[in-house]
């Protein structure tokens, strides 16, 4: 399962990068990223079965040999925009915060407690973007901490995938974690 998921993450990041020529990653959302990931899984392993948002699990992946539950987290910096004027409001819609970190930790604990009659593997797919030259709190500061893995009992399965959004130059990072029992 892990080789399939790591390859799918690479493919979905390539797809995001290509899409960022026209649409910045901070104008996309978790559902789009999950679609790119699912499409990559099916392209690599056509006999794989997928269930989306099944019983509060973002993505269930079943291969002939394995079953996996995946939780997706997609964190971006995004300003709140007035829909009539297209002008930014004096607040942000998405930004690094303690609430996001708590949500990330909580999702891991919920995933860890999920039971299934079959042997099931559990993973978290994390994507975040920080604007070029971002000051103050960033997602990278919140999630690049090497101690995070030990505290949360998660294992990073591959080195972070990093790229710059082609339209905004924002730094994008994706990580795949296995959730330990």
- What would the pLDDT profile of 48-73 be if each residue is shown by its tens digit? 999 999 999 999 999 999 999 999 99
> Is the predicted pLDDT of residue 29 greater than 70, yes or no?
yes
Q: How many domains does the chain have?
A: 1
**β-bridge mates for residue 60, sequence order:** 51, 69
pLDDT score recorded for residue 147: 65
Read off the pTM. Answer: 0.91
The answer to which of 41-45, 101-105, 148-152 has the lowest mean pLDDT is 148-152
Domain containing 154 equals: 2-179
Helix (H, G, I), strand (E, B) or coil at 106: helix
**Main-chain dihedrals φ then ψ at residue 9, nearest 5 degrees:** -65, -45
pLDDT score recorded for residue 106: 93
The answer to which of 12-16, 28-32, 63-67, 150-154 has the lowest mean pLDDT is 150-154
Gap between the Cα atoms of 88 and 82, Å rounded: 6
């Amino acid at each position: 399962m892990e080789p399939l998921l790591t390859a799918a993450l690479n493919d979905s990041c390539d797809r995001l990068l290509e899409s960022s020529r026209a649409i910045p990653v901070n104008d996309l959302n978790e559902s789009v990223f999950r679609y790119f990931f699912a499409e990559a899984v099916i392209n690599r392993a056509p006999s794989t079965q997928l269930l989306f948002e099944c019983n509060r699990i973002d993505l269930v992946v079943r291969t002939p040999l394995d079953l996996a539950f995946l939780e997706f987290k997609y964190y971006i910096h995004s300003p709140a925009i007035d829909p009539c004027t297209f002008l930014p409001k004096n607040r942000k819609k998405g930004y690094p915060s303690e609430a996001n970190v708590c949500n990330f930790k909580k999702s891991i604990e919920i995933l860890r407690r999920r039971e299934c009659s079959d042997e099931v593997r559990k993973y978290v797919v994390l994507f975040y973007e920080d604007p070029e030259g971002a000051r103050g709190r960033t997602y990278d500061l919140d999630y690049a901490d090497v101690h995070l893995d030990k505290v949360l009992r998660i294992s990073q399965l591959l080195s972070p995938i990093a790229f710059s959004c082609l339209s905004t130059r924002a730094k994008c990072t994706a990580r795949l974690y296995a959730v330990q029992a």
